[in-house]
Structure 1
Amino acid sequence: MYSIVFRHDLNLIDIRWSGLFDQPSVDAYADELVRRFREEGFAPGYRLRMDMSATSVQPVDAAQAINRRLGTFHRASRIAIVTTSAITRLQVRRFMTQPYLRIFESADAALDWLVASDEAALAA
């Protein structure tokens, strides 16, 4: 339903969702992300890629629960969301209002933006 990979070489947390969340899976996901962030030695300022291309829009109660559980999670310096769904884009924009967030249709384009220099990322 999800995978979380910590890439120290890029200071990147690479998350992929592949299913619809419910309260138990929200709790498991949030607990794992918080625990592993600490264990992996990550700090605020990391980069985040969330690939949602293998799932559809999340149920509203699940999206709200994720937002409640992770709303105060350590701040990234850039967030790239991957989806081709217009409805998922709307949901992301509703819950994730960070000015350093961009939405992409491909995981490769998202990664390119995440690892680009600050000047190149601002121009994108």
Structure 2
Amino acid sequence: MYRIDFRHDLNLVDIRWTGLFDGPSVDAYADELIRRFREEGFAPGYRLLMDMSGCSVQPAEAASAINRRLGSFHRASRIAIVTASAITRLQVRRFMTQSYLRIFACPDEARDWLAA
């Protein structure tokens, strides 16, 4: 469903989604991300990589629930989203309006941009 890695060497939260979320999985995901962010000692200004290439567009209810749960989460300095799906790009743009967000089709390009 998802994987969350904290890369201290890059000040990077590296997230990969591999399935569709529902109510319980949204709660589990948000709870784990918030808890581990604190435990790992991360702070605002980190970089975020979200690879969504392993799943299709999220159900509208799940996307809204994720936005509600994490809408006030600690601010990143850069956000890179990976997806080749035009529909997923639209969904990301609807919920994530940060000026420091870029969407990429290729994970390597996203990582290069985050590290620049």
TM-score bracket, shorter-length normalisation: over 0.9
Matched, 1:35 2:40: no
Q: TM-score, normalised by structure 1?
A: 0.93
Q: Which runs of 4+ in 1 moved over 4 A?
A: none
For structure 2, which runs of at least 5 residues remain unmatched after alignment?
Answer: none
How many residues were matched structurally? 116
Q: What are the ranges of 5 or more consecutive residues in structure 1 without an aligned counterpart?
A: 117-124
Deviations 1:12-46 (A, max 9, x none): 00000000000000000000000000000000000
Question: Rg bigger for which structure?
Answer: 1
Q: Give the 3-state SS of the residue equivalent to 2:29 in structure 1.
A: helix
CA RMSD, aligned part only? 0.2
Matched, 1:26 2:14: no
Q: Which residue of 2 aligns with 1:112?
A: 112
Paired position in structure 1 for 2:80:
80
Calculate the TM-score normalised by the size of structure 2: 1.00
Q: Deviation per CA, 1:52-111: give whole Å up to 9, x if none.
A: 001000000000000000000000000000000000000000000000000000111000
Q: 2 CA distance for matches of 1:9 and 1:80?
A: 17
Q: Percent identity?
A: 82
